[in-house]
Structure 1
Amino acid sequence: MSFSFPVVSVESAMLDEAKQFNQNLIATIQALPDQWQFPPSVTRERRMQGSSTFPAPELSPNAETLSIPGQRQPIPLRLLKAPSGAPDGVMMHIHGGGFVFGSASFQDAYLEARSRATNLDIISVDYRLAPEHPFPAGLDDCVAAALWITGEGATKHGWRKIAIAGESSGANLALSTLVRLRDTYKTAPFSCAAFLSGFFDLGLTPSARNWGNKPLLITTRDLNLFAKHYLLNGEDRQHPEASPLFAELHDLPPSIVTAGTQDPLLDDSLFLTSRLQATNSDVEVEIYPNGCHVFQGFELGLAKVSLSSIDTFIKKRMASQF
C-alpha cells in the first residue's frame, strides 16, 4: 500500500501573494484585542459587527432561513438555491469557528459561489455553539439536519444527489455526521464529502501542538480552548465522535481533503488521509504551499485554485452517482 501527500504546484506569484497575505494577517491579528478576554457571546457579537479579523457578514437577499425540529430546540438552516433553478442536487455545509464561533450566515457570498460552480442548492447548518451548548449538541444538530436534508428535504426539493462539506471544526462535524449516520442510522446517503482544514483531533496532532503562538488565524492556545469549551463536561479528547480521527473510517463516501502548509492543523488532514487510504477509501488530498488555515475563505490566487479543484471533485463525484 502506498501513501501520497502531494503539495500542489502553483505559480510563484501565488506563493508570494500568500506569503505576504500571511504576514499582513499576523500583523492585523496582533493589533486586535485578544478574543478570549471577552465571553464567547461578546466575541460573536463583535464578529457580527466586523470588529475582528473578518469583516461583518454581507447577507444575500437570495438566502432563505428554514427551521427544522431538533432534539432540544428548532435548528435554523440557511438555504441558497442554485441560480440555474434546476440544481443537480444539494450540498450540506457546516461552518467552522472552533465549535464556539461562526454562523451559517457568515459566508453567503462564498456559498453562492460554490452553488454557481457546482449547480447545487446549498444548506448551511446553524448548529448550537459551545460552551453554552457543549458536545454533543452541535453534532446532534448536524445529524438532525442531515436526516432532514436526505429525507423530508430531499422529497420536498427533489434532491437526489447530496454532498457534505465543512471547514475546520465544521469538517470535524461533517466527518462525525457521516460516521454516526453509518453506525446509528445504518445509512450512507451522501455522494461525496469535502473536508477543508479539518480539526479532527481535539487532543492536538503534532503540527497543532508545535505551532505555538504565531497568530495566523489560530494558535495552539486557541485550539486547546476550543476543545475545552466544546468538551465542557470533561469528555475524553479522543472520544471518536469528538475527535473523528479516532473513529472507524470504513465505508465513507468519496472525499477530498485539503489544507495549507502554514496551517496548525496540517497534520489533521495528513493523518485523516492516511486513515482513509488504509481503508481503501476513495480519497484525494491537496496540500497548498503557504496556505494558512482555511485560506480558501480569502481573496487569494491560491484559494481560487483550491476551490476550483474542490468544485470539480464534487461535480465529478455527484455525476457518477445514480
Structure 2
Amino acid sequence: MSGLDRTLFRAEAIAPETAEFNLKLRELLRDRPGPDAGGVGLPLRPPEPSERARTIRIAGRDGHELALRVIAPDHPKGVYLHFHGGGFIGGGAAQSDRVLDRIARNTDLACIDVDYRLAPAHPYPAAWDDAHTAAMWLIENAHSEFGTDALAIGGESAGANLAVSVLVRLRARHGSTGFRAANLMFGNYDLSMTPSQTLLGADAVPVSTDVIQRCTSAVAPRREQRQDPDLSPLYADLQGLPAALFTVGTLDPFLDDSLFMHVRWTAAGSPAELAVYPGGTHIFTAFPILLADQANGRIDAFLRRAGRGPDEPTAGLHRQ
C-alpha cells in the first residue's frame, strides 16, 4: 500500500465489502437535503463524548478564547495535535473523540483537537491563525503539560490543510516546525480545485463537487486568493517539513490533492509515505468497514513511531 501502484485504481481492486458499503452509502444519501452553512451533510453517527476528555482554554488572536480538547494516557510518550474536518464550515473538536480515544489508546500519545473558528462567520485566515496559535502553545507547553517534547500533527480533510499550513508557517517564520510527523488524511490542499475535485466529485459521495464549492466560497470568497500558498499549501515551499503519511481513497474527490502533495513533499526532500485505498470515499476511515480498519491501523503505527523517533529541535521557536 506504499507508493503509487496503478493496480490500486482498477475497479477489480475494490473489495466486495467496500463496494457494497459504497452502494448503501449512496442510497442513504439519495434523498438527503444539500449542505447548508451549518455543515457538509455527512452521514456520521453523532459524536460520543469521551469520559477522558478535558478542555484547555488558551488565548487566541483578536482577543478570543481558543478551546483545546485533550484526551491523554497517564504517561504520554508524545503529543498529537489534530484538526477536525468539516469543510472549514462545520464540525468541532468533540467530533474527534472516538478517533482520538483510539489513537491515544494505541499509540500512548496525548491527543488534542482544536475548536478553530469556522466560516462563513470567520473566513480565511481565522481557522489558519487559530491552528497556528494552538501549535505554538503546544510547542511552548508540551513538556510542562504532558512531560514530553515529542510532537506530531495532523487532521482530516480541511484539518489536513490546516496541519500542512501550520508546518509551513512554522518552518518559514522560525526555521523549524517543532513537529516530528504529520498524519494527513484526504486533505484539501488546493482551494482553486485539483482535477479530481471536479472529475471524481461530479458523482461522489458523501462529498460532491457542489459541496466542495460551497465550502470554498464560504471560507475563501475571493477567487484570486485561492492559490495563496498559506490557504492552499500545495503551492507552498515544502522544504524542511517532517515525515508525512498521506492517506486517501481512490474514489475521493481529493485524490489528486494527496497524490500531488505527496510528490511535492518528496521532491522537496521531506520524507513521505502514500497510502492509497481502493474504493475509499472521502472520510472512509470513519465508517465501519475493513478498509477503514486497515487505514487506521497504518495511521496508528505511523504515529507510534513519532513517539519514539529523535526530537526535531524546537529552540528558537518564538511566538509571532
Between 1:273-282 and 1:116-125, the stretch displaced more is 273-282
1:57 aligns with 2:57: no
Q: Which runs of 4+ in 1 moved over 6 A?
A: none
Q: 1:26 to 1:139 in 2, by over 3 A?
A: same
1:146 aligns with 2:145: no
- In the alignment, what sits opposite 2:19? 19
Q: Distance in 1 between matches of 2:210 and 2:165?
A: 24
Q: 1:105 to 1:302 in 2, by over 3 A?
A: same
Q: Distance in 2 between matches of 1:233 and 1:210?
A: 23
Indicate which of 67, 70, 73 corresponds to 2:57: 67
User: How big is the shift at 1:125?
Assistant: 0.5
1:172 aligns with 2:171: no
1:267 aligns with 2:256: yes
Q: 1:101 to 1:224 in 2, by over 3 A?
A: same
Q: Distance in 1 between matches of 2:215 and 2:143?
A: 33
- Secondary structure of the structure 2 residue equivalent to 1:257: strand
Structure 1 residue ranges without an equivalent (≥5): none
Paired residues of 1:150 and 1:189 also in contact (CA < 8 A): yes
The one-letter amino acid paired with 1:77 is L
1:209 aligns with 2:198: yes
Q: For 1:67-113, what per-residue CA distance to the aligned partner results, in whole angstroms no more than 9, with x for missing partners?
A: 1100020101100012xx11101100000111011111012112101
The one-letter amino acid paired with 1:70 is G
- Secondary structure of the structure 2 residue equivalent to 1:102: coil
- In the alignment, what sits opposite 1:89? 78
User: How big is the shift at 1:215?
Assistant: 4.4
- Secondary structure of the structure 2 residue equivalent to 1:312: helix
1:77 aligns with 2:68: yes
User: How big is the shift at 1:61?
Assistant: 1.6
Between 1:224-233 and 1:283-292, the stretch displaced more is 224-233
1:257 aligns with 2:256: no
- Secondary structure of the structure 2 residue equivalent to 1:107: helix
User: How big is the shift at 1:203?
Assistant: 0.9
- In the alignment, what sits opposite 1:5? 4
Paired residues of 1:6 and 1:286 also in contact (CA < 8 A): no
User: How big is the shift at 1:19?
Assistant: 1.1
Paired residues of 2:204 and 2:253 also in contact (CA < 8 A): no
Paired residues of 1:231 and 1:237 also in contact (CA < 8 A): yes
The one-letter amino acid paired with 2:67 is P
Q: Distance in 2 between matches of 1:75 and 1:91?
A: 17
Q: Distance in 1 between matches of 2:7 and 2:137?
A: 36
Q: Distance in 1 between matches of 2:223 and 2:288?
A: 39
Q: For 1:245-283, what per-residue CA distance to the aligned partner results, in whole angstroms no more than 9, with x for missing partners?
A: 000000000111110001011000000011011112110
- In the alignment, what sits opposite 1:122? 111
Indicate which of 111, 123, 126 corresponds to 1:137: 126
User: How big is the shift at 1:7?
Assistant: 6.7
RMSD (Å), alpha carbons: 2.0
1:159 aligns with 2:148: yes
The one-letter amino acid paired with 2:137 is W
Paired residues of 2:204 and 2:251 also in contact (CA < 8 A): no
Q: 1:169 to 1:185 in 2, by over 3 A?
A: same
- TM-score, normalised via structure 2 length: 0.90
The one-letter amino acid paired with 1:309 is R
Work out the percentage of aligned pairs sharing the same amino acid: 37
User: How big is the shift at 1:154?
Assistant: 3.1
User: How big is the shift at 1:155?
Assistant: 2.2
The one-letter amino acid paired with 2:52 is N
Q: Distance in 2 between matches of 1:223 and 1:241?
A: 19
Q: 1:221 to 1:91 in 2, by over 3 A?
A: same
Paired residues of 1:131 and 1:232 also in contact (CA < 8 A): no
**How do residues 225-244 of structure 1 correspond to structure 2 at under 5 angstroms?**
225-232=214-221, 235-244=224-233
- In the alignment, what sits opposite 2:34? 34
Q: 1:97 to 1:7 in 2, by over 3 A?
A: farther
Number of positions where the alignment pairs a residue of Structure 1 with one of Structure 2 = 306
Indicate which of 96, 111, 117 corresponds to 2:100: 111
User: How big is the shift at 1:307?
Assistant: 1.0
User: How big is the shift at 1:14?
Assistant: 7.6
Q: 1:64 to 1:317 in 2, by over 3 A?
A: closer
Paired residues of 1:64 and 1:78 also in contact (CA < 8 A): yes
Paired residues of 2:123 and 2:219 also in contact (CA < 8 A): yes
- TM-score, normalised via structure 1 length: 0.90
